[in-house]
């Protein structure tokens, strides 16, 4: 898992605001880099269709609070994280699929 995350870190760029489109999932993550929280907006699906976890660059699962903002937007509180790069793992509840999104904490 650590090799996969490191590989993804090398491939994925670090824009201030990223928007990606996968087959049936369009998402936005902001602000990036973040200080206290990070918002994830999934445009074409309900946020309830997914499970979320956050991992450090070396693969450790982080403890965090999450708050549902709307049917398609979630806020993750990351103010207790150290500065660095992290990954949000988005697991589809009804399918055996996962998306990984990189973000930076100041």
Pick from 2, 95, 5: nearest CA to 51: 95
- Range 39-45 average pLDDT: 90
What pLDDT, on a 0 to 100 scale, did the predictor assign at position 44?
A: 81
Largest CA distance in the chain: 34
Question: pLDDT at position 10, please?
Answer: 46
- pLDDT of 3 reads 57
Query: Is this structure's pTM higher than 0.85?
Result: no
Does the pLDDT value for residue 39 go beyond 50? yes
- The whole-number average pLDDT for the span 22-42 is 88
The three-class DSSP label of residue 21 is strand
Q: CATH classification of 2-105, choosing from 3.40.50.970, 3.30.930.10, 3.20.20.140, 2.60.40.10?
A: 2.60.40.10
């Amino acid at each position: 898992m650590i090799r996969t995350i490191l590989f993804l870190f090398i491939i994925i760029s670090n824009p201030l605001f990223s928007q990606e489109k996968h087959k049936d999932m369009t998402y936005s993550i902001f602000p990036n880099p973040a200080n206290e929280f990070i918002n994830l907006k999934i445009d074409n699906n309900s946020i309830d269709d997914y499970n979320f976890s956050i991992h450090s660059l070396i693969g450790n699962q982080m403890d965090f609070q999450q708050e549902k903002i709307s049917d398609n937007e979630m806020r993750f509180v990351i103010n207790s994280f150290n500065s660095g790069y992290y990954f949000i793992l988005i697991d589809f509840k009804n399918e055996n699929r996962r998306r990984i999104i990189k973000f930076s904490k100041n």
